Amino acid sequence: MALVRNWWKGLGVLLVLGSITIGLLTKTGPGVAVVSPGVVDASSTFSFTLTGYNTDFYGESAPSVWLKYKDRLFCADAVLVEDIKTLRVSFPPFDHRIDTVSRIATSVLIEDEVNGMFLGLDALQLNFNEVAVDTTTGCSIRPDKLEAIKFQFPFRTTLYETIRNLNFHVPMWFAMIAVLFLSWIASIRNLNSGDRKWDHLAYGFATAGLLFGIAGITTGAFWARFTWGTFWTADPKLNGAAIGVLLFVAYQILRSSIDDEDKVARISSVYNVLAFPIFIVLIIILPVLAKFSLHPGSGDSVGFKQYDLNNNLRMVFYPAVLGWVLVATWVGQLISRVKAIEEEQEMNAHE
């Protein structure tokens, strides 16, 4: 019977364990780690060395390389495979500029049968001496848009393998928002009914929310240190989240600063009813409105647009979110149950 009633806790544990397992075992797809030199003179023959990440250039077919500028593609003259992750690529000179400015950033596109098609975004800058502008479409050989069949996460420079942290760091925030919403509902019901059991639930879920908020902030800061280079930076998303978490630190302080149990329940409920909408504004609405943010996901608040090409991240991310929301609900429920017993014992002690 207890097993049937607690099915959601089991589901939460399964989803969390599953998302950690698949999130750790999935490989990161091939990518361009370094293009050297990064700036070349395009008016004469030029070449560069491309260092790949998670690539295998020892396949049967030689890789094809293009330079991509907007929707135009330019074919390489020669591609030499130096080793499993290094290519030496040469291009013929450009007779004309391909845009009105004298320097443009082009992306390097690589395709072969083993790695599929992948792109080094804005990896190579071209300098032009000629003034005349050429608008031809570039070369006629187009990529076949081969896809590597393997299930893999997309490669991003600076992120490397840490792209999978999306499945661990972001669900913390979803879990926090979910249990704080439950806490908000419980606070409203407590104010309506005056039944103390709703206050226990409100307290439990708010505490669980704070716990997951702290996990979200610390994992985020740690991830930022080794990708952006700093634990913290003045950014609308980061500061919004920090103030959001502080709102619920204040909730805890408010509760512990009042002695009368009845007053604790009512005052903290009123505070919670007001705090949750402000929290939502800080953590969802303001970041979406912000014009600049280092943190990915302006407008979609998670960052898929920037991170995902092949939907594989999503397939791990959504189960992870559901799993952590269920686990956070479980944590909140446990805290509220202990709270209920605590209060009952205190009442018995007074009698």
**Rounded to the nearest whole angstrom, what is the least distance from the CB of residue 268 to another protein in the complex?**
18
DSSP state of 105: E
Query: 229 Cβ partners below 8 Å, 6+ apart?
Result: none
Biggest CA–CA distance in the chain, Å, is 95
Separation of first and last alpha carbons in the chain: 35
**Rounded to the nearest whole angstrom, what is the least distance from the CB of residue 218 to another protein in the complex?**
5
**Rounded to the nearest whole angstrom, what is the least distance from the CB of residue 332 to another protein in the complex?**
11
- For position 53 contacting another protein by CB under 8 A, the verdict is yes
Would you mind telling me the total number of residues written for the chain in this entry? 351
* Token pair in block for residue 37: 């030199």
Do the beta carbons of residue 288 and residue 302 sit within 8 Å? Answer: no
Do the beta carbons of residue 193 and residue 343 sit within 8 Å? Answer: no
Single out the residue of 211, 241, 282, 322 in contact with another protein (rule: CB under 8 A): 211
* Token pair in block for residue 285: 């609405």
- For position 345 contacting another protein by CB under 8 A, the verdict is yes
**Rounded to the nearest whole angstrom, what is the least distance from the CB of residue 338 to another protein in the complex?**
5
Instruction: Work out the number of other CB atoms within 10 angstroms of the CB of residue 276.
Output: 24
- Name the residue nearer to another protein (CB basis): 155 or 184: 155
- Name the residue nearer to another protein (CB basis): 166 or 265: 166
Single out the residue of 55, 57, 335, 336 in contact with another protein (rule: CB under 8 A): 335
Single out the residue of 20, 121, 242, 246 in contact with another protein (rule: CB under 8 A): 20
Instruction: Work out the number of other CB atoms within 10 angstroms of the CB of residue 306.
Output: 12
- H or E segment and range at residue 171: helix 166-193
Binding to another protein in span 112-171, by CB under 8 A: 159-162, 164-165, 168-169
Single out the residue of 157, 227, 239, 310 in contact with another protein (rule: CB under 8 A): 227
Q: Summarize as ranges the residues that interact with another protein (CB under 8 A).
A: 20, 24, 28, 53-54, 159-162, 164-165, 168-169, 172, 211-212, 214-215, 218-219, 222-223, 225-227, 331, 334-335, 338, 341-342, 345, 349
